[in-house]
Amino acid sequence: MTLAKHNLHVAALIPSHLTPQDIISALHDHNTCLTLQALTTGHTKLPSTDPETKKDTYWYPHDIRPITTYEVTECVTIVPGIGDMGKKFITFPSCFQDTPHGIKTRADTSGVILRAEFRVIQGGMDDGEVDGEGEGIGYADWVLVEDVEVQTSWYMMPFVRKAMEGAHRDICRKVIEKVEMIKRQEAIASTLAKGKMRAGSGGSHTSHGSLARSYTDEDEERYHRPDKITYG
């Protein structure tokens, strides 16, 4: 059978208020990518990875960088325009390997092998202009890029290519947006926690009860009552 390959390169600028490590940490949380793909409806972590998959030279040595595999469920539209009747649910293994600059992934399903690598790269005078499928994203100090390769039979490629591009085109942007959302939530939670602490302590004033407890616990021996005086 003649196999065909198709490659897709997408990129998204990382805002200056986020660090490269913010994005890499989000990628190392595999739920980030597993929940952002347009077709994915669920996933479950598997106890092991297929030995044949580990032999792929695409990976870093898996004894140094372990591979984690998930069972992923996707909903694919086979016949558009007829609602649920035109949809099909498929389940397949999807493997993740953390790398110093991001992650490598591989998914195998129904005669299709898809490899996708996410990397945080530094921009510069020469490589700061990163192209995302024909559209420049402009100069950036740091950029998140995804390089995708899909491999399947030549007669299936038109359908597979369309589905793959639809699922992957916006993932880089969505990863960055998710990190920004998490950062905002953390900032709000921190502000609320500080507000509760100030409210609980009554600001700079100390209650009489607190003062009495402080005196009793710390100063009783130092400031003890004088001995009783007896007259006559």
φ/ψ (deg, to 5) at 201 = -90, -5
Query: What is the mean pLDDT of the segment spanning 10-24?
Result: 94
Whole-number average pLDDT of the chain:
82
Q: Quick: pLDDT tens for 58-111.
A: 999 999 999 999 999 988 777 777 877 778 888 999 999 999 999 999 999 889
- In 125-186, beta strands by DSSP E: 131-132, 135-136, 142-153
- The full set of domain ranges for the chain reads 3-186
CA atoms of 21 and 32, how far apart (whole Å): 15
d(CA 167, CA 36): 9
Query: Which of 116-125, 197-206, 219-228 comes out lowest in average pLDDT?
Result: 219-228
Bridge partner residues of 41 (DSSP) = none
pLDDT for the residue 62: 92
Whether 27 and 118 have beta carbons less than 8 Å apart is answered as yes
Q: How confident is the model at residue 232 (pLDDT cuts 50, 70, 90)?
A: very low
Topology given in CATH for the domain delimited by 3-186:
Alpha-D-Glucose-1,6-Bisphosphate; Chain A, domain 4 (3.30.530)
- Residue 20's pLDDT is 96
Evaluate if residue 192 carries a pLDDT over 90.
no
pLDDT at 201: 67
The model's pTM: 0.75
Whether residue 131 has pLDDT greater than 70: no
> How confident is the model at residue 229, as a pLDDT?
46
From CA 70, how far away is CA 92, in angstroms rounded? 8
